[in-house]
Amino acid sequence: MNKSTNDKIEKAFFHMSKYAVILLSIIISASGQQLSNQKKKEIFEVARLSSKGPNAAPDRKKDEGKGPYKRLVIRGGTVIDGTGGPPRGPMDIVIENNKIVKVQNVGYPGIPINESKR
């Protein structure tokens, strides 16, 4: 992940964290329960830490892993496409020059994969 993308994600989580803390404040005050100052601090600390968002993975070192590849095939993967539909699989995912060029269904769970269709 490049620095620009990481910065955008960090800013988005920072803005969301402000709203999370405000919402948490409203919920605590509206609950009618008397919470100790220590308990309130603990709740706000959890909200603050959980709203920072994910950290970007560090770049790999030259002696770690293999690649990049001109063509990479991930065999028998499960695809979650982000539309809200159920996961699909097993699927073969073909990546060429860092772009997904093909996603192909290769069978059904519990049924042996027909190698000639790959």
What is the 3 state secondary structure string of 64-110?
CCCCCCCEEEEEEEEECCCCCCCCEEEEEEEEECCEEEEEEECCCCC
Residue 1: the pLDDT is 54
The three-class DSSP label of residue 12 is helix
More confident: 63 or 86: 86
CA distance linking residue 101 with residue 94, whole number of Å: 6
pTM of the model: 0.43
Residue 46 has a pLDDT of 73
Mean pLDDT of the chain: 76
Which residue in the block uniquely carries the two structure tokens 């293999």?
66
- 96 pLDDT above the threshold of 80: yes
- 97 near 114, Cβ under 8 Å? no
